[in-house]
Structure 1
């Protein structure tokens, strides 16, 4: 049995510490750490201090853990998103809404280096920190109760803030996207915030790497608007392409990964 599968099976069976995994499989701790890193990028485990836990349905990753998964695809998605902002023809500086999430944080990082003035409203700490020193970018936080693990704001204060804005374009993150159901969310509160962001924006763009299309990791769903776009990457499965193509509300955009990039990076 390949080493990766044996190590993953051991983690699933309850062996979580690096030293214990190394002893069980008769390999070095450095080998275990390397394989765990590869399994994490593949979305199978979550690394912890000194070991790892299996990533199953309903397991929520932290912001840092999510940012390491499919990073190449997320950066390309962010490039396409920033290009969309640059192409807005409004006769004034645009107002951009950034949902909480790892992909929207990559978008914020690229917007921070943009020479064009703009306003950004965000419901996440990731985009906030990426933009906190960006010159020419006016940043507004739709803040409420902080969900520490994911760096997202939820609650009445967020809803009140969003009710008072009309962004030109909103980039919405997703742990899973099924057009017939919506965006998969950990909680009803998160689903409510995503739905409200979609309702308030003139243009709605879901940013989701190919692994998210068709995924149903959580039991709560944010309904999609009557018209939306999806930016994803070219590792999308045939089933994923069909699901997006079959939704008349959806205008999918597929970005290419650089040749030679790792599929899970």
Structure 2
């Protein structure tokens, strides 16, 4: 096989799988690992992929890359909706408080809350720093809303900064529903932006119970800033069963995994 054809196939594999390893490619194409590394170097120079330890990932998977809220709302909608429905069952009834973090799956949870029949969550106080979620909750007269303010980050429409952190530090909600850009066995939960990460850390530390809403595309991903270890999370709701090192780490950290 000519190198150009092999490069095309490697690029297609990275696009399909998101990640490839040197060993995997060496076996698939019956070439040495040194040849694989040279191929990856060429493809990285062309912008097709990005080399990481042991292999390569798609070029768009840099640790600081982050898509807009609108773009993410179009991705994996059915999986996120199933996760949100499973999360709805964990929202406490009676006089209770719940933080809903910024994100597309958490926004679906807020939407489901507003659509519920009157009575079930009439005494629920929803706390959020996300403008879209606050707007949704504000349209439902049966729900109480506390908006945590600060400087709003345009990409996520969420409050960030010292004022936001101070307000969350003064709260002790019954439960928090958070999102993440990645969940990894050793690195924990992460997000690309340091200011967003600081807010997520504050939410995790404030809540009596922490539930992470994470679809399976985030498994084994490490973005730039770690905001929580697995041991700080009580429950992960996802659409597919974790496997390998991540599954083992979740079990060791005594994290409940709920499949939606």
TM-score computed with the length of structure 2 as normaliser:
0.72
Find the residue that maps to 2:247 and give its secondary structure.
Answer: helix
2:138 pairs with 1:99: no
> Out of 131, 145, 149, which is 1:143 matched to?
149
The match for 2:173 among 129, 154, 167 is 167
Distance in 1 (alpha carbons) for counterparts of 2:233 and 2:102: 21
Q: Aligned partners of 1:120 and 1:226: how far apart in 2?
A: 21
Change (3 A) 1:227 1:212: closer
CA distance, structure 2, for counterparts of residue 112 and residue 59 of structure 1: 32
Runs of 4+ in 1 over 6 A off after TM superposition: none
The answer to whether residue 204 in structure 2 is matched with residue 204 in structure 1 is no
**How far 1:238 sits from its partner (Å)?**
4.7
For 2:76 and 2:90, how far apart are their aligned partners in 1?
21
- In the alignment, what sits opposite 1:261? none
Distance in 2 of aligned mates of 1:60 and 1:144: 21
State the match for 1:152 in structure 2: 158
CA deviations on 1:26-85 (whole Å, 9 max, x unpaired) are xxxxxxxxxxxxxxxxxx7xxxxxxxxx63323211111111111111101100111111
Provide TM-score, normalisation by structure 1: 0.70
Q: Please give the root-mean-square deviation of Cα atoms over the aligned residues, in Å.
A: 2.8
Contact 1:102–1:126 under 8 Å retained in 2: no
Secondary structure (helix, strand or coil) at the match of 1:84 reads coil
Q: Which runs of 5+ in 2 are unaligned?
A: 1-7, 16-44, 48-57
Q: What is the SS of the residue equivalent to 1:72?
A: helix
Deviations 1:159-181 (A, max 9, x none): 12112221111001000012432
Q: Which ranges in structure 1 are unaligned for 5 or more consecutive residues?
A: 15-43, 45-53, 256-265
| Equivalent pairs, count | 210
Quote the offset at 1:186 in angstroms: 1.6
The corresponding residue for 1:64 is 70
